[in-house]
Amino acid sequence: MTVLDSTTDPATLTMTFVAEFDAAPEAVWQVWEDPRKLERWWGPPTYPATFTRHEFVEGGECRYHMTGPEGDQHHAWWRIESIGKPHTLELTDGFAGDDGEPLPGDEPVTMRVTFEPTDGGTRMTTVTHFVSTEQLEKMLEMGMQEGMRLAMGQIDAVLASAA
């Protein structure tokens, strides 16, 4: 796996992530389509995801939760907006209440994923668009302790290079 590009744009609240994998687009597509594979990578290791509903068709609804180290559960949902197997996928990802259903008034994140064949592999591009800064903050709060520690390390590096 190679991360080719990762760009954040604070002005438009967009994050673009490009990575290449040594597998055909059909295989990379499977890690999204197959809920048991999806669960192995969507949540951080300390906040594994469980998909209790996974309708991987256009207009389909998905429900999942992440379980934290204290047994705390954080519910969320997807709606599959479009499917162009195995090349394009568009979905919205939002927060849900304890009943697992979307929180009214919550603004979901939209995500567009493309899978392009390369020499013996696949280039996967994910463009995430946040509608609000609260959404981004919540996203980061949800089971991202690990990422946070790493981010702290990055801050030190930034400060060191600025000095």
Partner 1 sequence: MVVDDWSDGELDRVFHALADPTRRDILVRTMRAGESVSSLAGHYRMSFAAVQKHVAVLERAGLVNKQRHGREQIVHGDPETLRRATTLLERYERLWTDRATRIAGILADEEGNTT
Interface residues with partner 1 (CB under 8 A) are 1, 3, 6, 8-13, 15, 17, 19, 21-23, 27-28, 31, 37, 40-42, 44, 124, 126, 128, 132-134, 136-137, 139-140, 144, 146-148, 150-152, 154-155, 158, 162
* CA 38 to chain CA mean position, Å: 10
With respect to partner 1, which residue has the nearer C-beta, 12 or 99?
A: 12
Q: What is the DSSP string of 30-64?
A: HHHHSHHHHTTTSS-TTS-EEEEEE--STT-EEEE
Q: How far is the CB of 78 from partner 1 (least distance, A)?
A: 15
With respect to partner 1, which residue has the nearer C-beta, 96 or 136?
A: 136
Q: How far is the CB of 66 from partner 1 (least distance, A)?
A: 12
User: Residue 40: what are its φ and ψ, rounded to 5°?
Assistant: -80, -15
Q: Which amino acid is at 55?
A: E
With respect to partner 1, which residue has the nearer C-beta, 6 or 73?
A: 6
Q: How far is the CB of 74 from partner 1 (least distance, A)?
A: 14
Q: How far is the CB of 150 from partner 1 (least distance, A)?
A: 6
Q: Which of 53, 15, 3 is nearest to 136 (CA)?
A: 15
d(C-alpha 43, C-alpha 38), whole Å: 9
